[in-house]
Amino acid sequence: MEISPTIFIVPTGIGCEIGGFAGDALPTAKLLASASGCLITHPNVMNGGSLSEKEQNIFYVEGYSLDRLAKGEIALKSVKEQKIGIIFDSGIENEILVRHLQVADACVSTLGINVHSYVVTKKPLSIVIDSDSSKLSGGIIENPDTLIDAGKCLIEKGVTAIAIVARFPDDSDSPETNIYREGKGVDPISGVEAVISHLISKFLKVPCAHAPALNPIELNQNLDPRAAAEEIGYTFLPSVLIGLSNAPDIVELPNNNELISLHPNQIESIVVPNGALGGETVLAGIENGLNIISVKNQNTLKVTNEFYDYPNIFEVNNYLEAAGIILAIKKGINLNSIKRPLRKIQKCSYID
C-alpha cells in the first residue's frame, strides 16, 4: 500500500482552536490519516473523554515518545492488542474509584479491550495546577516517585501499556475552567497531564496516556461544542483505554532483533499548528529535512518560520489544505505544478 508516514501534532496546553479541547482534532486526524495512509499522533489529539475511535492507520503514541521517534531514538511495532494496566492515584475517593473501575469493566465487556489489572499508588500523587487561561497550562506532581513505582509493579505483572488516573483538584468554579468550557481559553489541566504521561514514557518506555479524576461539575448552558465530550460521563478513562488498546510497542534503536512496523527514517512530513514550531519533534524534523506543514490554528505560541527560514515549510490556511499537500507528496506530484502562475523551467549555467 502506498503511504506517506506523517506526524500530526497539536501541542497540549496552548489553547489551539482545533485540538485544544476534548478530542476535537480527532476528525482532522482521520482526514490526515486517510490522505497519508499512515499517521502518527498523540493522545491529546485522539482522547475525547468518553469518545474516541480506533483507526488501523493511526499510531497512538504518547508525546515524549513521539519526540524520541522524530529524533530517531525509537521505532514503532504494530500489535494486535496491548495488555493494559491502570495506575490509580491513592488520593482518589472510593466512589470516584468505583466509577473508573466500572469503566474498565465496560471496556472489557463491550469493546473487548484487554484491561488486565490495576494498582493504587502508595502515596497520593498530589497534583498542583498552575495555569493561565491566556497563555499556557502547567503544573507539577509532588510525589512522582510513587507513580513510577506503581508503573513498575504493573510491568512486573506482565502489563504492556499503562493508563494513569490522577486525582485533580476540583476547580469547577474557577475562571480558567469556565473560560475553557466556553471555548475561550486554555485547558487548565492539560499541561500537568502531559507531565504525568511523560514520566511513564521516559522511565518505563511503554505506551501510556492519562485521564484526570474529577467530581462531576455543574451544568453549563454556554458550553462550547468542542468541550462537550468531557461532559457526558463520570470519567475521561474510556478514550484512554480505547487509544491504548492497540497502541504500538516502543522499540529502542538500534535494534536488529525486533520486527519494526515504522522506522523514523520512513517519516516524510510533520503537520503542526503555526506558531508552535519550537517543539522537539519539529526541530528534529527540520534537522532531518522533513516537510513541515504549518497550519493556521490559533494558539498562544508565536514560534513561526520567521525564526528558521527553512525551505521545506508549507504554510496553509487549514487542515483540508494540509491533506492536499500530503496527498501530493504521497503521489510524487510537484506542488509547484498545481500553483499559478506556472513558472518555466530554468536554464543552468556552467561554473568556470
Backbone angles phi, psi at 106, to 5 degrees: -65, -40
- DSSP code for 305: G
- Give percent of the chain above pLDDT 90: 66
d(CA 130, CA 285): 30
Provide the pLDDT for residue 172. 56
Q: Is the pLDDT assigned to residue 166 strictly greater than 60?
A: yes
Q: What is the pLDDT of residues 235-284, one digit of tens each?
A: 999 999 999 999 999 999 998 777 899 999 999 999 999 989 999 999 99
Listed in sequence order, the residues at least 6 apart from 333 whose beta carbon sits closer than 8 Å to its beta carbon are: none
- What the block records as the C-alpha cell of 14 is 496552548
Backbone angles phi, psi at 223, to 5 degrees: -60, 135
pLDDT tier, 333 (very low <50, low <70, confident <90, very high otherwise): very high
- What the block records as the C-alpha cell of 301 is 505560541
Q: What is the pLDDT of residues 22-80, one digit of tens each?
A: 899 999 999 999 999 999 999 999 999 888 988 899 999 999 999 999 999 999 999 99
**Host H or E run for residue 44:** helix 43-46
pLDDT tier, 126 (very low <50, low <70, confident <90, very high otherwise): very high
Provide the pLDDT for residue 1. 62
Supply the pTM of this predicted model: 0.92
37 to 91, 111, 330: CA distances (angstroms): 42, 25, 9
**Size of the chain in residues:** 352
Query: According to the per-residue pLDDT averaged within each range, which of 4-8, 177-181, 182-186 is highest?
Result: 4-8
Cβ 186 vs Cβ 13: under 8 Å: yes
Q: Is the pLDDT assigned to residue 334 strictly greater than 70?
A: yes
Cβ 45 vs Cβ 10: under 8 Å: yes
| More confident site: 40 or 225 | 40
Nearest to 229 by CA among 183, 179, 166, 176: 183
d(CA 259, CA 75): 10
324 to 1, 292, 333: CA distances (angstroms): 18, 14, 11
**301 Ramachandran zone, left/alpha/beta (phi>0; psi -120 to 50):** beta
Backbone angles phi, psi at 113, to 5 degrees: -80, 145
Q: Give the three-class secondary structure for 84.
A: strand
CB atoms within 10 A of CB 44: 24
State yes or no: cis peptide before 254, omega within 30 of 0: yes
Provide the pLDDT for residue 132. 58
Checking DSSP bridges between strand 208-213 and strand 313-316, what pairing results, if any? unpaired
Write the DSSP string, 109-145. HHH---EEEEEE-SS---EEE---TTS---EEES-HH
Cβ 244 vs Cβ 107: under 8 Å: no
The alpha carbons of the chain give a radius of gyration, in whole angstroms, of 21
**Helices 26-36/319-331 angle, 10° precision:** 20
- Give percent of the chain above pLDDT 70: 97
d(CA 286, CA 155): 35
Q: In what order do the strands lie in the sheet with 115-120?
A: 115-120, 84-88, 161-167, 208-213
CB atoms within 10 A of CB 242: 23
- DSSP code for 51: B
Listed in sequence order, the residues at least 6 apart from 340 whose beta carbon sits closer than 8 Å to its beta carbon are: none
Q: What is the mean pLDDT of residues 185-194?
A: 79
Q: Which residues of 129-163 are buried (b: 16+ CB within 10 A; e: fewer)?
A: bebebeebbbbebebeebbbebbebbeeeebbbbb
Listed in sequence order, the residues at least 6 apart from 145 whose beta carbon sits closer than 8 Å to its beta carbon are: none
Provide the pLDDT for residue 205. 96
